[in-house]
């Protein structure tokens, strides 16, 4: 039965909240692991963008991103086999709404340089004002859009049907895998194999595939792969607060871990040359605009980039259409980025004409080129 035809109020489901919380713990484990191993933020919209961008992304980063996305697809297939109830049919959502939502999510996340994972989990865990502002913006936009357009009328009533014991075991295994990987690399980080460019690349690609699998399983166990679960959170008229526990669980563990990595950890990542966390922290109009656009798309359908990619291997055609539209939205943003900046400059919303907010400046890019040349000379460059 489609639609939520029942009394308003909070619709609490204990098992759903438990699964979301332990999924958040897995997210914290993999996000922190990628941070100390690669020195990078785990933002799914950014990883997807890197995997399809050729002219502004280094081959090494693009190949790793492709492996991470491949891991998410593999994790979705694993979830389909062992946790089939984590998926639902997206075809009840009108195709025009699905297409529009995908384009808006792609365009918005590219404009704001992040989504629920990059800003919501990683950014807030690092206490970045920019990420806090972005998260508040897309959350409010998502709430308003889901209720104003009554998205719930197209979706079944959400009820968690995942077995807690099996789901908990899956999460526990993957958290253990993340911990073991970090311990092994911490002990062997100076190994000649890891320092060698080709060995570094092979290990990095394999690990990112594993982390992608872990991410997909976290999405599956938390039920974020179900549109009805996300909309039950975004529609405050019949609010199911369970999904708040995935972000809460992730931030509660990731925040202290990120502090330790930044202030007490190694001087450089185990398999990287430096920690590349975003340094730009200004809250500007472009950030808020992009976050709102993303939030509107999120509220229209209920799919973030990560859960949508996980759904691609579920056997339904609708997630494929959605992802294609999301990628189209990212490309449209890249094509129009300079135009957008110039318009905002004319309105006084940015301080520099043609600036690409949140991306490296020309001076920073030149500095990276010098670092790369030095790494090539001593044989430690990542290919």
* Number of domains comprising the chain: 1
Tens-of-pLDDT digits for all 383 residues of the chain?
555 555 666 677 778 999 999 999 999 999 999 999 999 999 999 999 999 887 667 888 899 999 999 999 999 999 999 999 999 999 999 999 999 999 999 999 999 999 999 999 999 999 999 999 999 999 999 999 999 999 999 999 998 999 999 999 999 999 999 999 999 999 887 777 666 777 788 899 999 999 999 999 999 999 999 999 999 999 999 899 999 999 999 999 999 999 999 889 898 899 888 888 777 778 999 999 999 999 999 999 999 999 999 999 998 999 999 999 999 999 999 888 877 777 766 666 555 555 443 444 444 444 544 544 444 444 433 33
Tell me if 200 is assigned to some domain: yes
The answer to whether the CB of 268 falls within 8 A of the CB of 275 is yes
- Please write down the HEC assignment for all residues of 307-368: HHHHHHHHCCCHHHHHHHHHHHHHHHHHHHHHHHHHHHHHCCCCCCCCCCCCCCCHHHHHHH
* Domain of residue 191, residue span: 14-378
**pTM of the predicted model, to two decimals?**
0.86
Tell me if 235 is assigned to some domain: yes
* Among 225, 205, 216, CA closest to 170: 216
Tell me if 5 is assigned to some domain: no
Tell me if 289 is assigned to some domain: yes
Alpha-carbon dihedral sign for residues 14, 15, 21, 22? positive
Tell me if 145 is assigned to some domain: yes
* Alpha carbon distances (Å) from 151 to 25, 55, 219, 243, 323: 29, 38, 21, 17, 19
- What is the distance between the alpha carbons of residues 249 and 305, in angstroms, rounded to a whole number? 20
DSSP string, 252-300: HHHHHHHHHHHHTS-SS-TTSSS----------HHHHHHHHHHHHHHHH
Tell me if 275 is assigned to some domain: yes
Tell me if 98 is assigned to some domain: yes
Tell me if 383 is assigned to some domain: no
- DSSP 8-state class, residue 158: P
Residue 206 gets the label, from left (phi > 0), alpha (psi -120 to 50) or beta, of alpha
């Amino acid at each position: 039965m489609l639609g939520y035809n029942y009394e308003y109020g909070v619709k609490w489901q204990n098992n759903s909240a438990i699964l979301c919380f332990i999924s958040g713990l897995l997210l914290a484990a993999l996000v922190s692991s990628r941070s100390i191993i690669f020195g990078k933020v785990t933002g799914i919209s950014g990883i997807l963008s890197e995997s399809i961008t050729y002219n502004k992304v280094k081959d090494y980063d693009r190949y790793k991103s492709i492996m991470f996305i491949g891991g998410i697809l593999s994790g979705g297939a694993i979830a389909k086999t062992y946790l089939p109830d984590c998926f639902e049919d997206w075809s009840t959502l009108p195709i025009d709404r699905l297409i529009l939502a995908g384009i808006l999510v792609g365009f918005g996340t590219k404009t704001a340089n992040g989504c629920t994972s990059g800003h919501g989990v990683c950014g807030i865990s690092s206490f970045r004002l920019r990420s806090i502002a972005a998260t508040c913006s897309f959350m409010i936009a998502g709430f308003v859009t889901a209720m104003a357009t009554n998205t719930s009328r197209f979706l079944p009533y959400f009820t968690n049907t995942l077995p807690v014991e099996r789901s908990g075991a899956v999460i526990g295994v993957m958290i253990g895998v993340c911990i073991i990987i970090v311990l092994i690399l911490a002990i062997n980080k100076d190994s000649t194999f890891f320092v060698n460019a080709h060995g570094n690349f092979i290990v990095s690609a394999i690990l990112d595939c594993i982390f992608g699998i872990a991410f997909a399983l976290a999405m599956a166990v938390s039920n974020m792969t179900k549109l009805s679960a996300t909309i039950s959170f975004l529609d405050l008229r019949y609010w199911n607060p369970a999904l708040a526990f995935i972000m809460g669980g992730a931030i509660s563990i990731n925040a202290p871990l990120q502090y330790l990595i930044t202030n007490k950890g190694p001087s450089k990542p185990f398999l990287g040359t430096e920690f590349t966390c975003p340094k730009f922290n200004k809250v500007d109009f472009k950030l808020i605009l992009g976050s709102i656009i993303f939030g509107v798309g999120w509220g229209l359908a209920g799919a973030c980039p990560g859960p949508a990619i996980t759904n691609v291997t579920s056997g339904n055609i609708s997630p494929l259409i959605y992802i294609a539209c999301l990628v189209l939205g990212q490309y449209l943003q890249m094509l129009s980025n300079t135009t957008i900046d110039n318009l905002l400059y004319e309105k006084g919303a940015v301080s520099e004409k043609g600036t690409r907010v949140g991306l490296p400046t020309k001076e920073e890019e030149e500095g990276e080129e010098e670092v790369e040349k030095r790494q090539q000379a001593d044989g430690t460059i990542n290919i």
